[in-house]
Amino acid sequence: MGTDQRIQDAVTAGEKNKKVMELVHNWCRNARVVKLGGTGMVEAATGLPIGHHAMACDYAAAPGMGTWDLAEAASRSSSQVSLGAARQVACDGCRNRRFGRRT
C-alpha cells in the first residue's frame, strides 16, 4: 500500500470518527471522547480525529475501550455506528444521562 493510500485511509477514518463523536455527544452530554496517544501529521494537518480514542464519562463504572475506529469503541462492533453496546455496558439506567448536544 502506497503512502497516498495510507493518508487517504487515515482521512477516511478521521471523517468517520468525527461523525461518531457527534453521535456520542448527541447520546448524552456527559459522554465525551478522549484522545489516547499522540497526534500524527495527518491529524494535525486535517484537524480530524485520527488515531486511538475512547468514550469516557464521569458516571461510568469502568473506562471505555480505546480504538482507532471510534465506532468500535462506542458500540463494540465496527459494523455499527451506534451506541448500542455502550448503552448496555455503561448507560442503561444511568440517572445522570443528559440528552442532547453539548453547547
Give pLDDT tens digits for 26-84. 888 888 888 999 999 999 999 999 999 988 888 877 767 788 888 877 765 333 344 54
What confidence category does residue 16 fall into, taking pLDDT thresholds of 50, 70 and 90? Answer: very high
What confidence category does residue 3 fall into, taking pLDDT thresholds of 50, 70 and 90? Answer: very high
Domain span at residue 10? Answer: 3-91
- Output 103 or 26, whichever has higher pLDDT: 26
Is the residue at 102 inside a domain?
no
d(CA 66, CA 6): 21
Is the residue at 80 inside a domain?
yes
d(CA 90, CA 100): 17
Please spell the DSSP secondary structure of the chain, one letter per residue. Answer: --HHHHHHHHHHHHHHHHHHHHHHHHH-TT-EEEEES---HHHHHH----SEEEEE-TT-SSPPPPBSSHHHHHHS-TT--S-HHHIIIIITT-TT---S---
Is the residue at 100 inside a domain?
no
Domain count, the chain: 1
Is the residue at 62 inside a domain?
yes
Looking at residue 67, what is its pLDDT?
A: 87
